Structure 1
Amino acid sequence: MKIVFNFLKQHKIKVIMISVFMVAYYFCLPKNLFDNPTSTVVTAKNNELLGAVIADDGQWRFPELDTVPKKFEQCILQFEDAYFYNHFGFNPISIGKAMIENIKAKKVVRGGSTLTQQVIRLSRKNKKRSYFEKFQELILATRLELRHSKKEILKLYASHAPFGGNVVGLEMASWRYFGLQPHQLSWAETATLAVLPNAPSLIYPGKNQQKLKNKRNRLLQKLYKEGVIDRITYDLAIEEELPQKPYLLPEIASHFVQEIAMNKKGKRVKSSIDIHLQKQVNNLVKQHYLRQKQNEVYNMAVLVLDVKTRKVLSYVGNSPTDKAHQKDVNNIIAPRSTGSTLKPFLYAQMLQSGDLLPTQLVADIPTEIAGYSPKNFNLTFDGAVPANEALTRSLNIPFVRMLKYYGLEKFREDLKAYHIKHINKSADYYGLSLILGGAETSLWDLCKTFAGYAGIVNHYEELKHNYYQREFVEPHFLFDTVSNFGEIQKNYTTIDAGTAFLTLNTLIEVNRPYTDQAWKYYDSSQTIAWKTGTSFGNKDAWSIGVTPKYVVGVWVGNSDGEGRPNLTGVGSASPLMFNVFDILPKSNWFLEPYENLTEVSICDKSGFLAKTICPSITKRVQKNAMKAKSCMYHKQIVVDKDERFRVNSNCESIANTVTKAWFILPPLMAYYYQQNNADYKPLPKYRADCHRLENNTMDFVFPTKYVSKISLTRGINNEFNPIILTLKHANAEANVYWYLDKKFVGKTQQYHEQAIIPKQGTHTITVIDDLGNELKRVIEVKN
């Protein structure tokens, strides 16, 4: 120890100088050799290239390679640095030979740089050559050798070498000049790329072809002489042609790549996309686009999700259209009017709360709520329709009335649990039109929500009748990402498995486009729960389908919002959706969550909980079904022994009467209901000697609003056409007396229609029946 101390004391200056040199040497090499921006590169789950986005500096520079293909390693070592694995950063012999030859030639005819030195030169952005610069490169090369392995240095060179034009790195060069991945190149193709960094200008098509070919062939000959390739491989390789034109990068999922580039700029991303499925869906979209553009519909989008993993399997953001028709718009994430796509969610929430049973009758009659008058797509009325049929037929009026009954604020709160991003305003902002397309959402969020429903049912059995905390998680597109469904719990968070199953089960009854109900009897038909939507003005056509394994969502329309005639969810979007399902593996239907359903007696006619007087059937329904209402449409009536007339104790003795249960709808519902249900029997009329005043025995068919604005039309002779007032009475034999502003205008029986031609202004219509029941309407007439 004393000897060391004395040595340091005697050679103090030398020790300090050496220490300074060692510290400088240690820190002379930057931590990151290359800080150049890189392209965003996106691959499918099998590592095939889906597409890329150019780097910010305008160079096609892919992120650094993971490995260097063996062929390229052999070629570049034989061409540039045969002793790469034997030197420590520079080769003194090569440097000496190069100096002698250059001095003799009085110009640079040979370089003595190793691959390690070339990596340093590339990292220093090819600074002007000088002896001092060369010395710096040499020092830095030795430092690089101490910090990195030979394989890592080789990767740095292959990733940052210039290959002509704005092409940097082996991987991009391979795609640009041969349209292949580096490991797919032949010996001749690899040799061509190996000689390019030495003279990148030789690659320009139509120029220097013979010079480039000679360089390539000399390298191939050396590979043969060194025993790297055999004679047959050599003979075949020198016969291969050079690349004649640059290849375009793959654009298999361009909108998907652009979306990833927003958040993972300059990264290499391995996605969850199934490239074979993506290509098939691309072809289907192209075919569908060619058909739809005949109707001047130019844009569409398709999203395919894996229900189990919530991974994106296929992502088509737009059709293969042009810039004039907004080809760059990503229609998977663009917000659009929801149309009828939210109806299943209201149906499910009402089942969940016990406000609805699947086959319960809901009113489908002319409706006005606070000035809002919804209309069915076909402009007809059913009077009363089972709730599940209202969903499968996507009737508007029943769902507006259901939303009003359930509560707009309540449903708006329910939607928050689905994390639908664009439905972010208050219930008052949307109003009752929320259920018919008054809000906007994206294809991404709709598919996510339907996947959540499927996941609830699937996981119920997998988790032994438990639930995940978060079923409506965001889908993801990274290969190695795993969805986090949260903790396992006994109670559901949003809706239970029975409700989700009943909702999806209802949606399989939607009739498929261009077919009849016979589709379900074919063995080849896959069971799919699906829902369509068409926005106001025929601007957006939706179709979302669900199986236990997959969700397929389709949007069709014009990205600029232009509506087109005949653009509908059923006719325009669903054919493409079913075509996509046809190329997906088939799956069995969901297992029924038996323990989460309960058996109850349901009124066969009304769908409500059955009373003792109702003809009933037993059905398995949601757990909360016991909260639902009992049948309100079956009533006991008293008729005579012949069951021809209604009677009461005032006109007939009890011994001569029969008590029967009768299915009775309110007059307006009955008026439309019996038009579609021939078996509906109106109440028998009272016998002539029996009279009874009843409430709600009649209702207006037109006008339905208490105050209505009516414009008179003119006929052929320029005379005003009459207004036809229409009424429905529960008693077919009742007489109805009509008054216009207290002035009697007529009497009707059986068919209660009265024609009037009122003057311009406000008038009161009054009707009174034989029993004194009275109704009024106010009309404002404009000429």
Structure 2
Amino acid sequence: MTRWIFTLALALWAGAIARDAANDWIDATVLPTLVSEVSTEVRDRHGHLLRAYTVADGRWRLPVTLGEVDPTYLRMLIRYEDKRFADHHGVDPLAMVRAAWQAAWHGGVVSGGSTLTMQVSRLLEDGSTGRWAGKLRQIRVALALERRLTKDEILTLYLNHAPFGGNIEGVRAASYAYFDRPPRRLTPAQAALLVALPQSPETRRPDRAASQAAAARDMVLRRLTDADVIDAAAQEAAVRHPVTAMRHVLPAFAPHLADRAINAAPDQNRHDLTIDRPLQIGLERLAADAVRGRSDGMQVAIMVADHQTGHVLGHVGSARYRADMRGGFIDLTQAVRSPGSTLKPLVYGLGFDQGLIHPETMIADRPTDFEGYAPQNFDGLYRGELRVRLALQHSLNIPAVAVTKALGPHHLLAGLRRAGAEPTLPGGAPGLAVALGGVGLRLEDLVRLYGAIGNGGMAIDLRWRDAPTDDFQPRRVIQPAAAWHIADILRDVPRPTGVQGTGIAFKTGTSYGHRDAWAIGFDGRHVVGVWMGRPDGTPVPGAFGGDLSAPVMFAAFARAASEVTPIASPPPETLLLPNAQLPQHLQRFGSDPALQAHRPEIAFPPDGAIMTPGPMVVKVRDGRAPYVWLANGQPVARTHRPQVDIGDLGPGFSQLTVIDADGRSDQARIEIQ
């Protein structure tokens, strides 16, 4: 009996020594690096993937957590690969014995004995599975991993490092590459395929070996059905689902803004933007449609923002992000261009603030020489005296320059800077041409300006990250009443043919030589800017903002919201009066009461007259010479005498206008039969 007790004690002592030695061996294990380089990601405001970048060696390795993966896939994976994963300590002796017995019985490998933890150890070290030294190292690392990490952490490592063919690593990259969806939304058929792929990723790649991929998937489905992980109906439906022989391009939405975000913070692996992915996708399709079929090298840039928060919701730098004749890699929201007529709302808004004009103020549209600068209207016509409201709605040049002269062009530039814009002056000192586009601005600058008008005249913190901009200082660009007047006027600007857009205040612009076509608009919440032109700045004959950019802008509004948000009611201080009830100095721009007593009047023909065809002599009384006579907006005579022969106007209705030296005018509408 004593001998047996001694033998048992000796065995226990030897076992304890062996156990301690094994523990020391495991504890002394030098683990591989557990943190691997992952793809830099750019996500939208809801956490959805916008764009990803490969790691240094060209692999797609998108980081993923357990919560971002379909639970059915996780159950399938554990049941198929390592059903005792929750219970073992890195090595499953039963599985290894089973694998060895099957190999001996069948004369070759039938099933593997590796646990998920052992597979993780191999993936982390890119180790061999066919040599005993490699297998022993996997076992040692697996045992050490189990002591230092939780089961969830080990499973997460597998999900991030498992190979899925080619340069795809991790279940999230595989889900996007083969199914164009995040791993949270996998179907049973897709989940089973992703379970099967890592066992032989190159021979089962669905984009190159669809039939082998389908066979491997179906084998997984059968075994999981036998194990009651899925039911027979789900298996039957899954095997009928075809395996498509293709590989999707990983998401690359808002590429220009994504590049900008990474350049601003190159050390970050994840960049969360304010972009709304569904809207961004719609805008990129809209941009592609806008230039499709054109052979003139036309490009487009679009921005959509919420002027209440300043968040950029959509950003399209070009129609296609690629090297092409259209400059697809250029972010044209940042290109400095002439804004054309898009600054006129700011001109009039500043004029309202300074008490120079009111929307109902009469202002002259006549040939004018501003000390050597003699602008003309875009259509070459003149309208005589009309209300400021109509002058802005019809984008007339002479009234806008006249108000700019009264303000001083430096005040216009100061207003732009208060809005957050960065104007570029080609000649250094500002001149009156600034009002008509003689300054360099970006699409982003104009979105800031119009966003401020939509925001009641207060500058907006236009940004593509949620956090406020560090150096942003809220400034008032124009007063609330002036901002409301501008919005009220621009809501009634004539729409392009076939476009409704009720409730949207907007302005178009075309730069000199048809180089830039603009459309900028806002409602009670959104501001949308569109630029179209050639990236190299060369002219595009016949390109107008109203024809090209405005329809794209209204289409962008339709994608931004199902309904237009109404513009706010006028603030209490808003002066809502007809011209006759305005203070005298606001009834007519640039006039004084003494001049109004002797305004020019058309003495012949009288308003409403019916005339016979032939040469026509027109007469004016009062006013101050010289007089300019217009017929249907076109100059027909300039004279110091009160009467002049303007020739035969031809049959039909005509509108006669006379403008005197002080800019005062009178009109008469006649019919020639």
TM-score by length of 2: 0.78
- Could you say if the C-alpha distance between residues 336 and 630 of structure 1 is closer, same or farther in structure 2, counting changes exceeding 3 Å? closer
Q: Distance in 2 between matches of 1:339 and 1:380?
A: 18
- Could you say if the C-alpha distance between residues 102 and 541 of structure 1 is closer, same or farther in structure 2, counting changes exceeding 3 Å? same
Aligned CA-pair RMSD: 4.2
Structure 2 residue runs of 5 or longer lacking an equivalent are 1-19, 610-617, 630-634, 647-673
1:625-704 matches, within 5 Å, as 632-635=591-594, 662=597, 664=599, 682-684=620-622, 697-699=624-626
Could you tell me which of 494, 497, 519 is aligned with 1:511?
Answer: 494
Give yes or no for the alignment of 1:548 onto 2:459: no
- The 3-state SS of whatever aligns with 2:531 is strand
Give yes or no for the alignment of 1:400 onto 2:394: no
Q: Which amino acid aligns with 1:189?
A: Q
Deviation, 1:96, is 5.4
Deviation, 1:248, is 3.1
- The 3-state SS of whatever aligns with 2:521 is strand
* 8 Å Cα contact 2:310/2:463 also seen in 1: yes
Could you tell me which of 594, 610, 613 is aligned with 2:584?
Answer: 610
Partner of 1:75: 76
Q: Deviations over 1:277-314 (max 9, x none)?
A: 444444544443347x27x3532122222233333333
* 8 Å Cα contact 1:301/1:554 also seen in 2: yes
Q: Which amino acid aligns with 2:77?
A: I
With 369-378 and 411-420 compared, the bigger mean Cα shift is at 369-378
* 8 Å Cα contact 1:532/1:543 also seen in 2: yes
Give yes or no for the alignment of 1:475 onto 2:458: no
Q: Distance in 1 between matches of 2:605 and 2:421?
A: 40
Deviation, 1:130, is 5.7
- The 3-state SS of whatever aligns with 1:537 is helix
Q: Distance in 2 between matches of 1:589 and 1:207?
A: 54
1:367-516 matches, within 5 Å, as 367-369=368-370, 371-421=372-422, 423-425=423-425, 428-456=428-456, 471-476=459-464, 478=465, 493-514=476-497
Q: Deviations over 1:373-416 (max 9, x none)?
A: 32221123344443333222212222223223211223222221
* 8 Å Cα contact 1:221/1:234 also seen in 2: yes
- Could you say if the C-alpha distance between residues 213 and 412 of structure 1 is closer, same or farther in structure 2, counting changes exceeding 3 Å? closer
Deviation, 1:161, is 1.0
Q: Distance in 1 between matches of 2:243 and 2:63?
A: 26
Partner of 1:761: none
* 8 Å Cα contact 1:309/1:482 also seen in 2: no
Could you tell me which of 550, 566, 575 is aligned with 2:551?
Answer: 575
Give yes or no for the alignment of 1:237 onto 2:225: no
Q: Distance in 2 between matches of 1:425 and 1:22?
A: 74
Q: Which runs of 4+ in 1 moved over 6 A?
A: 21-24, 99-109, 482-488, 674-681
1:354-369 matches, within 5 Å, as 354-369=355-370
Q: Which amino acid aligns with 1:122?
A: L
* 8 Å Cα contact 2:176/2:250 also seen in 1: yes
Deviation, 1:129, is 7.0
1:42-121 matches, within 5 Å, as 42-43=43-44, 45=46, 49-65=49-65, 66-95=67-96, 111-121=112-122
- Could you say if the C-alpha distance between residues 264 and 215 of structure 1 is closer, same or farther in structure 2, counting changes exceeding 3 Å? farther
Q: Which amino acid aligns with 1:58?
A: G
Q: Distance in 1 between matches of 2:414 and 2:501?
A: 37
Partner of 2:193: 192
- Could you say if the C-alpha distance between residues 568 and 486 of structure 1 is closer, same or farther in structure 2, counting changes exceeding 3 Å? closer
Could you tell me which of 505, 522, 526 is aligned with 1:529?
Answer: 505
* 8 Å Cα contact 1:526/1:586 also seen in 2: no
Aligned positions, number: 608
Deviation, 1:85, is 0.8
Partner of 2:14: none
Partner of 1:596: 573
- The 3-state SS of whatever aligns with 2:342 is coil
Partner of 1:649: none
Identity %: 28
* 8 Å Cα contact 1:361/1:387 also seen in 2: yes
Q: Distance in 1 between matches of 2:589 and 2:511?
A: 36
- Could you say if the C-alpha distance between residues 375 and 507 of structure 1 is closer, same or farther in structure 2, counting changes exceeding 3 Å? same
Q: Deviations over 1:622-675 (max 9, x none)?
A: xxxxxxx99735438xxxxxxxxxxxxxxxxxxxxxxxx73526xxxx99xx99
- Could you say if the C-alpha distance between residues 303 and 426 of structure 1 is closer, same or farther in structure 2, counting changes exceeding 3 Å? closer
Q: Distance in 1 between matches of 2:345 and 2:636?
A: 37
1:145-156 matches, within 5 Å, as 145-156=146-157
Partner of 1:289: 291
- Could you say if the C-alpha distance between residues 22 and 503 of structure 1 is closer, same or farther in structure 2, counting changes exceeding 3 Å? farther
* 8 Å Cα contact 1:41/1:62 also seen in 2: no
- Could you say if the C-alpha distance between residues 585 and 206 of structure 1 is closer, same or farther in structure 2, counting changes exceeding 3 Å? closer
Q: Which amino acid aligns with 2:195?
A: A
- Could you say if the C-alpha distance between residues 324 and 427 of structure 1 is closer, same or farther in structure 2, counting changes exceeding 3 Å? closer
**Which structure has the bigger radius of gyration?**
1
- Could you say if the C-alpha distance between residues 358 and 210 of structure 1 is closer, same or farther in structure 2, counting changes exceeding 3 Å? closer
Deviation, 1:86, is 0.8
- The 3-state SS of whatever aligns with 1:440 is coil
- The 3-state SS of whatever aligns with 1:63 is coil
* 8 Å Cα contact 2:61/2:170 also seen in 1: yes
Structure 1 residue runs of 5 or longer lacking an equivalent are 1-17, 458-469, 617-628, 637-660, 686-696, 703-723, 733-749, 754-783
Give yes or no for the alignment of 1:751 onto 2:644: yes
* 8 Å Cα contact 1:305/1:550 also seen in 2: yes
- Could you say if the C-alpha distance between residues 159 and 725 of structure 1 is closer, same or farther in structure 2, counting changes exceeding 3 Å? closer
Deviation, 1:486, is 8.2
TM-score by length of 1: 0.68
Deviation, 1:73, is 1.2
Q: Distance in 1 between matches of 2:164 and 2:111?
A: 20
* 8 Å Cα contact 1:43/1:51 also seen in 2: no
- Could you say if the C-alpha distance between residues 502 and 89 of structure 1 is closer, same or farther in structure 2, counting changes exceeding 3 Å? same
* 8 Å Cα contact 2:510/2:518 also seen in 1: yes
